[in-house]
Structure 1
Amino acid sequence: MRKQLVVVTGGSGFIAVHIILELLQQGYAVRTTIRSAKKEDVIKEMLYNGGIRDFSDLSFSQADLTSDTNWEETMQGATYVIHVASPTPKLNFKNEDEMIRPAVDGVLRVLKASKDAEVKRVVLTSAYGAIFAGHKNRTTPYTEKDWSDLSAKNIHPYQKSKTMSEMAAWDFIKKEGDGLQLATVNPVGVMGPVLSAKYSHSNVQIQEMLEGKIKALPKVDSGYIDVRDVASLHILAMTSPKANGERFLATTGETLSMMDVADILREAFPDYASNIPTRTIPNAVVKAAALTNPQLKMIASIVGKYAGTSNKKAKELLGWNPRSAKTAIIATAQSMIDLGIVR
């Protein structure tokens, strides 16, 4: 019997490679998109480190979200598509359209190609950024019913791009989906095992804390989730009949400050304890610094903000049961130490 084919976009990404790992372990065939053939070896190395020894069910396709080239061929024969790839956030953008347009156009390109190839369902990796941004004086946990308020001041263009690209996806399905199914997964801060030292990891803050590069921490609260649980939620959203037309917040439901994260690392890795920060930075100082340092703009937009989240929907509807935030944070650090990423 032919294995069901799943197309996963952006295969070298942290979340995408864990999804591919889980799909191969569950007996699916996977075709993943990459922007350049150079990524093939890195992806195989990460999968090998994750336990995959047989690559006969994995294939690669060169396709870029900013161009129509090769998307039609990429989708041929696929039953499902998991669209994880998104344009990398630019720190130095001239205007916010540089971030928003590629994100929206990329999602529409993937959905159109999926529809044309008669794919059954697309699972879109959206973000917590499409849910929480721009809300004032929030005191109750965010759920899938919430959308970021695009009319609010000081929304970072990255959160806007995530919100607008997810909205565009739902709009496409409603107006021209023609039976194509859609579900979205909206992860909070993603932690968990890194699979290669070559990989530029999204959780650089853990590495920097362990290396003593961060002297004091902003007062930012966040939810956290293990990348392995993000992967399993994508696959549940792909296969469960109940998931069609639904959004799922990928969160443990816990809220941690950056100092809580530092405390977890200090306790779990006593050899590094003296490197890990014990001081916080006043919110006003972060906001003032962001006026001249574009790299701090995103942090400045969320300091002191409520960040409670609920995972009730994914647990009740799909039977999903994630690891704790502490487990995820320790797994991140341990993998970085084991791979020699932490100097």
Structure 2
Amino acid sequence: MKKVLVTGGSGFLGLHILFQLLQKNYQVTTTIRSEKSKKRVLDTLMANVSTNLNRLSFVKADLSADDNWSEAMSGQDYVLSVASPVFFGKIKNESEAIKPATEGIMRILKFAQAAQVKKVVMTSNFGAVGFSKKAGPGVVTTENDWTDVNMPGLSVYEKSKLIAERTAWKYIRRPDVDLEFTTVNPVAIYGPSLNDHVSGSFGLLENILSKKAIVDLPLNVIDVRDVADIHIRAMENPQANGHRFIATDDGQITLRQIADLIRKNRPELADLLSTKVIPQRLIKIMAIFSKRAREGQVMLTMNRNVSNESARDILGWKPLTNNEETILMAVDAMEKNKLIEP
């Protein structure tokens, strides 16, 4: 029986990964920060009729310290590095905010190397791939692309994921390191939630459902179950070693289309939707003065013709859902878990 360590198993994506691994009969360990997290994970998996819970164990470990990582890694065949530092409030020192992400993945890799783990799969981000590539006729964004770390308007979160992934690949290519390594680079993650913990991408849906005017941004989206599936396929498939995989549904969807979709298919929420649209030209003007507007301008100008061919061809993956279904399931999860303010 293969053994897998999952960091960040209590999160939106992490819970789906635990659920799928247990269904596939793996022996699974996940890191937690507290006993409260352990109870939350178990309660959530039981509520969703997870199988093989007797094959799930817990180790208390934190990305910011070495404590218990040797124990967590001992005897593991694979590590799925899903956990990521969370940003709260206004960031005053960008370098200090980015540092934990880099130190976290390096801690994972070094302890995995010492424990002779076979492979590490890192959850990176599309922000490390395609934010610098501009839209144009025939332009396609693939895993060969990298975001420019110095580009104006790149958020601290995206920059932290980019620098952390760059640092990880540099370590993996050292001659004294023999870990297999793969990254998964998801776009905005939506779809169903196993509890009331959702991804940061849901903030856009919260804005749409708060009667606020809409900035008609285009988005690439992905069902969380697909992101979990891609992680596990990348872990299992020897051909995935050394590759990055963009996780995205086919095509794209705009915030305005999302609002129209909700209005048509969830009419009980129609009163929460604004009919006002902020012109894109206004965002460009505001970007001169506002950091947040500059981040919005990046979203407006980046290329949204994004390829998922590597995941299809190498991993044999195909999307469970389309953009519209992914969004509607996310809205249903928000309703179910009372995440929509009336």
TM above 0.5: yes
Q: Which runs of 5+ in 1 are unaligned?
A: none
Identity of aligned residues (%): 37
| Contact preservation (8 Å) 2:121, 2:231 | yes
Mapped partners of 1:298, 1:124: distance in 2: 25
**Pick aligned residue for 2:215 from 209, 214, 218:** 218
Aligned pair count reads 338
Task: Give the aligned partner of residue 242 of structure 1.
Answer: 239
- Residues 158 and 338 (structure 1), Cα distance of their counterparts in 2 relative to 1, 3 Å cut: closer
Q: Alpha-carbon deviation of 1:218?
A: 1.3
Structure-to-structure mapping, 1:1-343, within 5 angstroms: 3-52=1-50, 54-136=52-134, 138-139=136-137, 140-175=139-174, 178-197=177-196, 199=197, 201-202=199-200, 203-210=202-209, 213-286=210-283, 298-322=295-319, 323-343=321-341
Measured against aligned partners, the alpha-carbon deviations of 1:180-212 in whole angstroms (never above 9, x if no partner) come to: 100110000100111213x255313324534xx
Post-superposition shift, 1:238? 0.2
How many Å separate the matches in 2 of 1:246 and 1:313? 9
> Structure 1: how far apart are the matches of 2:206 and 2:156?
26
Q: Say which SS state the counterpart of residue 83 (structure 2) adopts.
A: coil
Distance in 2 between residues matched to 1:74 and 1:340, nearest whole Å: 35
> Would the alpha carbon gap of residues 44 and 138 (structure 1) be closer, same or farther in structure 2, given more than 3 Å must change?
farther
Q: TM-score scaled to structure 2, two decimals?
A: 0.92
Q: CA deviation at 1:50?
A: 2.7
The alpha-carbon deviation at position 243 of structure 1 amounts to 0.5
Q: What's the C-alpha RMSD, in Å, of the aligned pairs?
A: 2.1
User: How many angstroms apart in 1 are the aligned matches of 2:211 and 2:95?
Assistant: 32
Instruction: Summarize the Cα distance change of 1:157–1:138 in structure 2 as closer, same or farther, 3 Å threshold.
Output: farther
Structure 1 residues 200, 226: CA separation in 2 closer, same or farther (over 3 Å shift)? closer
How many Å separate the matches in 2 of 1:117 and 1:292?
50
Evaluate the alpha carbon distance shift between residue 240 and residue 53 of structure 1 in structure 2; reply closer, same or farther with a 3 A threshold.
closer
What is the CA-CA distance between 1:288 and the residue it aligns to? 6.1
Kindly provide the amino acid, as one letter, of the partner of residue 171 in structure 1. K
- When residues 295 and 34 of structure 1 are mapped into structure 2, their CA distance, relative to the original with a 3 A threshold, is farther
| 1:296, distance to aligned residue in structure 2 (A) | 5.8
CA distance in 1, matches of 2:208, 2:134: 31
Q: Distance in 2 between matches of 1:268 and 1:98?
A: 44
Tell me how far 1:285 sits from its aligned partner.
Answer: 3.9
Q: Deviations over 1:239-259 (max 9, x none)?
A: 011101100000013111111
